[in-house]
Structure formats: structure tokens, C-alpha cells
Amino acid sequence: MSREPFFERKTSIAFKTEEKTVLRGYNLSDLAEEGYSFCDAIFVLFQGRIPAEAEEQMLSYEMGSFLEHSMSPSAGSAIAVTAGRPNLPTAVAAGVMTFGGVHGPGAAHGYMMNKYIGRAQREGKSLDEMAKILVDDYMDAEMPVMGMGQPQHRDGDPRAEPIHLKQEELETHGVYHEFQRAVEKHFHARRKREGKAYVGVNVVGAGNAALSDLGFAPNAAWCVGSVSRGYSCAVHAIFAMKKGRAWAASSAEPMVQMLDLSMIKYIGPEDRKVPSQEERAEYAAAQKESGDYKKWVI
């Protein structure tokens, strides 16, 4: 069998020969034999370095916190995909791919922090001053401040503040932690001034600050977070696959199923007659002319 790569790329991540697999210069088998943890290896993968013990502990805390979040868009996707009974990886992949602009927007939050910390450096402002500018920029523009708020944990994400505290306990807190804390302070103060309800920090705000202080670039941090969720998406998918009904629509189940016909609430155009081909030209022209269809275009 051919052992040539599918296509060639210059890479500084890893190489593999018949004798060994080497990640950033370290033989993977030797790394495992030496007793390093999987989280240590994540540092080697993304940063090419062995982390300090406290850094490894912080990453394990962060990844362990993020792994399971019960019914969130990612788990929902994985469960829905299993209804058609594809191969299991399809459901797991769908779960990971659910992480977009509003579900664990790790990279965007990281880039936001880098942008404003960079401005503080260039403009000679303190992190606290720049955090206020960030909050005002976003709130003046009526945009949500990334890292704040979670629709299910309305009184504050239960994982978020403990992550901040663990960072402080392990002394891995740096410029990102300080900046994120300042963002939260100014965010809370402005909402209070404006008579708005309390909105707590979420796991992206706290977790991404922690990951950034551990040296992970925005996309690397996003990968660490969203891929960790992939494990629990797999558990939810396997549960649905092994103990649930395929199609998720059976009327024989004692509980109405996710895709039961009665779950459909239709709010589209009223029922209408299908025009014959003889009627088509006149019908289509009139329909386009009236423009009523435009309110349904998405």
C-alpha cells in the first residue's frame, strides 16, 4: 500500500516516518512515555513548547469545564443528525461545526481583545481606560459585547467566574485576564447607569481570557474550546443512536417526538392552487408583477 502523503505541504507541525511520529520536534510516543498529559501535548501542538505545571492545570480546568454543556446548539445538532442514522462521525462533526458566530465565538473574542490591547499600547492608555473604550464602542453601536451574557444562564454562566478565580489561584492570569476583568467592570457599570438588568460574563469571556494568557492565539483557543465540546456531542449522539428512535418521529412513542408532524407550526403563504403549464406564463408574470412574493424571500 502507498504511504505517500495525499499532497505535499511544507509543515512545521509534525512529520511521520515508518519509525516515529514527531510533533514540533518531540517524538509523540516518548512524550507519552515520559508521563506528560494530553493537555501538555496541546501546548506542544499549538505553541511548540512544554508548559509550566500550573499552565497545564489551567488548560485542563478550562477544557474540562467546556466539554459538557447539556442542551446547547452543538449537542442539539449532533442529536438531530443521528435521526437519519449516518455514520457516527457525521453527528460529531456537525456538533463541532455548530460553533459559529454566536456559539462559543472564541476566535472573535480573542481578536477583539488583541485589537484593543494593541490600541492601548499604541495610544499609551491603561488597560482599564481601553476596556471602557471597548465597552462604549460596542454599546454605543448597540452591538453585544463579546464574552458577556448567556441565554440559558441568565444570572451568569456557572463556569465563568470560577475560571477567572482559578486563573488567579494558579497565577496564570496576565494582561488578558486584567483586560477582561476591566471590560466586565465597565460593562456592568454602564448597564447599571442605564437601568438595565445584570448580564454576567460567559464562558467565552472568562475562558478565552484564560486561554489567551496561556499563550493560545485566537483561532487556537477557539479550536481548544470547540473541539473539546466534540467529545460530549459524541456522547449525546451515541445516546440518541443507541437508545432513541431513528427518524425521531414515531407516533408509537409515549412522548411526542422531536420531528413529530404536530411539531410543525407553519406561518408561510396560504395554501394555493398549482397552476397548469398552460397557465404558467401569465401566472408567473402576474406574480412577479405584484411583488407580494418579496416578503417571503429569504
Partner 1 sequence: MGDLMDEKVKDKKVIGNLGDPGLPYDYSNRPYGTEPLDSKRAPFQWVSEVAYKNRYRIVTRGYDTTELMEQGYGLTDVLFINFQSRIPSIEENQMLNYVMILALEDGLSMPAMLSRIVASSKTFLTQACGTSILAFGHAYGAYSAFGNRQLEALEKAEADGQSLQEAAEALVAAKLDDEALGVSSLMLKDPAAKRMFARAEKLGVAGKHIAFTQAIVKAAQAASDTPVDVDMLGATGATMMDLGFTPEAIWSVIAVTRSYGAGAHFIEEVEREGYSRTGQHLTPESLYDGPAERPVPSLKDRDKLAKPAKITSPDEWKVAMEARKKLYGSGYSIVEEIHDPSKKTGTHSHGKKL
Q: Which of residues 41-100 bind partner 1 (CB under 8 A)?
A: 41-42, 45-46, 57, 60-61, 63-65, 67-71, 76, 79, 85, 87-90, 92-100
Q: Which of 46, 45, 41, 35 is nearest to 56 (CA)?
A: 41
Which residues in the 4-33 window bind partner 1 by CB under 8 A?
Answer: 5-21, 23, 28-29, 31-33
- Residue 26 — left, alpha, or beta (φ > 0 → left; ψ -120 to 50 → alpha)? beta
Q: How far is the CB of 174 from partner 1 (least distance, A)?
A: 20
- Where b means 16+ CB within 10 Å and e means fewer, 137-175 reads ebbeeeeebbbbbbeeeeebbebbeebbebbeebebbee
HEC sequence for 70-90: CCCHHHHHHHHHHCCCCCHHH
Q: What whole-number distance in Å separates Cα of residue 238 and Cα of residue 61?
A: 25
Q: Which of 256, 281, 284, 285 binds partner 1 (CB under 8 A)?
A: 256
Q: What whole-number distance in Å separates Cα of residue 244 and Cα of residue 257?
A: 10
* Closer residue to partner 1 (CB): 41 or 134: 41
* Closer residue to partner 1 (CB): 141 or 277: 277
* Closer residue to partner 1 (CB): 7 or 296: 7
113 binds partner 1 (CB under 8 A): no
Q: Which of 122, 243, 294, 295 binds partner 1 (CB under 8 A)?
A: 243
Q: Which of 189, 263, 284, 285 binds partner 1 (CB under 8 A)?
A: 263
* Closer residue to partner 1 (CB): 272 or 294: 272
Residues 6+ apart with CB under 8 A from 210: 58, 62, 163, 164, 166, 167, 172, 173, 176, 177
Q: How far is the CB of 160 from partner 1 (least distance, A)?
A: 10
Count of beta carbons in the 10 Å neighbourhood of residue 108: 18
232 binds partner 1 (CB under 8 A): yes
Residue 120 cell numbers, joined: 492601548
* Closer residue to partner 1 (CB): 5 or 144: 5
278 binds partner 1 (CB under 8 A): no
102 binds partner 1 (CB under 8 A): no
111 binds partner 1 (CB under 8 A): no
Residue 246 cell numbers, joined: 431513528
Residue 151 cell numbers, joined: 441565554
Hey, what amino acid is at 75?
A
Contact 111/216 with Cβ under 8 angstroms?
no
The piece of 115-123, 135-143, 204-212, 273-281 that touches partner 1 (CB under 8 A) is 273-281
* Closer residue to partner 1 (CB): 23 or 175: 23
Which residues in the 143-182 window bind partner 1 by CB under 8 A?
Answer: 152-155, 158-159, 162, 166
* Closer residue to partner 1 (CB): 139 or 235: 235
* Closer residue to partner 1 (CB): 180 or 257: 257
In the three-class reduction of DSSP (H, G, I as helix; E, B as strand; rest coil), residue 274 is classed as coil
By CB under 8 A, the count of residues binding partner 1 is 111
